[in-house]
Amino acid sequence: MWTADEIAQLCYEHYGARLPKQGKPEPDREWTLLAAIVKIQRPPEKPGPVTKEVVSMGTGTKCIGQSKMRRSGDILNDSHAEIIARRGFQRYLLHQLHLAATMKERSIFVPGTQKGCWKLRPDLFFVFFSSHTPCGDASIIPMLEFEEQPCCPVGRSWTDSYSGEASVHLEAPENKRMCNSSVSPATKKMRLEPRTPVQEVANGVAHHGKPIPPRAWSCDDAVERPTAVTRTDLRGAKVVDVYRTGAKCVPGEAEDPRRPGAAYHQVGLLRVKPGRGDRTCSMSCSDKMARWNVLGCQGALLMHFLEEPIYLSAVVIGKCPYSQEAMERALVGRCQNVSTLPKGFAVQQPNIQQSDLQFEQSRCAVQARKGDSPGRIVPCGAAISWSAVPEQPLDVTANGFPQGTTKKKIGSLQARSRISKVELFRSFQNLLSSMAEDKWPDSLRELDWKWSSWNSN
């Protein structure tokens, strides 16, 4: 029906044609990440060509610290491309529900069996695309001694039997330096530091790793550095290290061993995105995508109107360091023990593939073009959101607010991103206003008393 390269090429073409120059990386100096959600329509008669359409797209690499978070919901806490694309997808779903409720145009939804509820048309499904593996657990990828990037997939039995992997997340150059085995013991010293044992991971996302040893190595210590840990994969190739993710373990939970080489990371753990001095409260993209794989992409508000969650049928990753086993572990394997879900919810098994096509503004592509030219490349500070909606489909933000927002404007309507929580809630209110009250789902009647407190904001 479709190939990974077809999905990647469609997204790259959409990025070049539909997204503005404003918010894109400065050529040969900045890089960014790209994510999108593609609607696939099956042919009415098989066999036949499928119809592919990008319905949401996002770029971005940044995340604000916890000190900048606001209770009003008018700031974007997480501006990684995957999260921007999902927020834009929620805008698209809200618009499609409006079309279904008003019956003005054909919608992706058809009436369900319950009063006021809708369900996705049976000939449609959605594919998620990302130009790079999601930060966090999916980016903890083995480095094989004889291979160049990207890495070949490793066998499942190797990942199951050894949990002390580590990674260098290529899309996070601002992260702290890693402890490389090539560094001389005379120049790098280590210390022993107690670590907590592996605990049960919260929110139903389970890990498959063995308990972390009671002591683990960390940088900047006064004890002689140990030999880097290596392992072999199923083919007998030596795994000398792993790509390290900048995402940090959730405070109070199990921690990374931080040993040299292939024992730097503990796989399967929940992680938060890194902050420069100010810790963030945003979970890694791997963790969020794992949650979407169980609860759907629609969110709690839209679920009032839907009989079934909106799941992603497939995930496509662009050309980058990649491990099929790491992707399946991060998005699916960690959730296998989740149980007692409401009716209609279940752990999904999306089709996970990688494309051979590289994003032209990824860090690797920009670095290759730059070569040995002076100057360093840096992540782009802006994020772009595009959604297939008729009114104001584009949204360019920086530091969680529309680009160009001054401190004096913060708190005003003009300083709100269209995909901020408060604006998505307003779109939800507009959807309710367009419907006769007797058409509302029963679950919303119980919440009616809450609307008035929001109308004044």
- Nearest-angstrom CA–CA distance, 127 and 244: 27
Q: Is 128 in contact with 278 (CB distance < 8 Å)?
A: no
First to last CA, the chain: 47
Strands 30-31 and 34-41, by their bridges, are unpaired
82 is catalytic: yes
Q: How many angstroms separate the Cα of 451 from the Cα of each of 28, 72, 294, 418, 444? A: 48, 15, 28, 20, 10
CA distances in angstroms from 274 to 135, 223, 283, 427, listed in the order given: 10, 27, 10, 31
| Residues shown for the chain | 457
DSSP 228-246: PB-EE-TTS-EEEEEEBPS
Return the closest-CA partner of residue 151 out of 319, 369, 359, 332. 319
Residue matched to tokens 């839209």: 302
Write the CB contacts of 227 (distance below 8 Å, at least 6 apart in sequence): 181, 260
- Choose the catalytic residue: 6, 13, 82, 200: 82
Nearest to 262 by CA among 361, 337, 369, 154: 154
Catalytic residues: 82
